[in-house]
Structure 1
Amino acid sequence: MKITATSGGGFAGITREHQVDTETSPAGPAIEAALAATDFFAAPDAPAGEPIGADIPRWTITVDADGRQGSISFLDDAGPASQRWRPLLDRILAA
């Protein structure tokens, strides 16, 4: 399974990208378990709209697994969507 987490936004407008192949990464099983706990492929993407603050980064997590691909996006603002996806994102970033 290949997972990409990309961020953009914030004051500096810096884009970051992290890629993980769970088949080769030692953190692969933990990331796959975190992904399964989110019901990723059944989750709707974040609602459209702009963040209230220009300093709030937006993350997009894209998963390519067994011929299925899905993406979700959320604002890293400590809101409900951020709290749902942050544990998965933290595992991806630590891999």
Structure 2
Amino acid sequence: MKITATGGGGFAGITQRHEVDTATSPAGPDLKMALEASGFFAAPRAAGEEPVGADIPRWTITVDADGERHSVSFAEDGSAATAHWRTLLDRILAA
């Protein structure tokens, strides 16, 4: 399973990209469980309402597994609606 997190926005407008292959990463099994526990594969592509503001970072988490691809995009606005995606993102970035 390949996990890609791509983010951008904020005042600096810097784009970030982080990839994890769960087959080779020591964090792989934990990330697989975190994805399943989060409801990632059943979640809609856009998580929550899109807040207004160019300074709000936005992230997309994409998972390629078994010939399928699913993505979830969210704004890092600190809202309760996107908090669990930020938690998942933190785990991906730490891997």
- What's the counterpart of residue 91 of structure 1? 91
Q: Contact 1:34–1:87 at 8 Å: present in 2 too?
A: no
- What's the counterpart of residue 20 of structure 2? 20
Q: Within 5 Å, which residues of 2 pair with 1:63-78?
A: 63-78=63-78
Secondary structure of 2:73's match? strand
| 1:16-74 Cα deviation digits (max 9, x unpaired) | 00000001000111111110011212101226975322211000000001111000100
Q: Contact 2:35–2:41 at 8 Å: present in 1 too?
A: no
* Structure-2 separation of matches of 1:40 and 1:49: 17
Stretches of structure 2 that go unaligned for 5 or more consecutive residues are none
* Structure-2 separation of matches of 1:48 and 1:84: 12
Q: Cα distance 1:40–1:48, how it changes in 2: closer, same or farther (>3 A)?
A: closer
Name the stretch that deviates more: 42-51 or 85-94.
Answer: 42-51
Stretches of structure 1 that go unaligned for 5 or more consecutive residues are none
Q: Contact 1:6–1:61 at 8 Å: present in 2 too?
A: yes
* Structure-1 separation of matches of 2:63 and 2:35: 9
* Structure-2 separation of matches of 1:57 and 1:37: 24
Q: Cα distance 1:31–1:48, how it changes in 2: closer, same or farther (>3 A)?
A: closer
Instruction: Report the TM-score when normalising by structure 1.
Output: 0.91
User: What's the C-alpha RMSD, in Å, of the aligned pairs?
Assistant: 1.7
* Structure-2 separation of matches of 1:60 and 1:49: 15
Q: Cα distance 1:47–1:38, how it changes in 2: closer, same or farther (>3 A)?
A: closer
Aligned length: 95
Q: How far does residue 81 in structure 1 lie from its aligned partner after superposition?
A: 3.2
Name the stretch that deviates more: 76-85 or 2-11.
Answer: 76-85
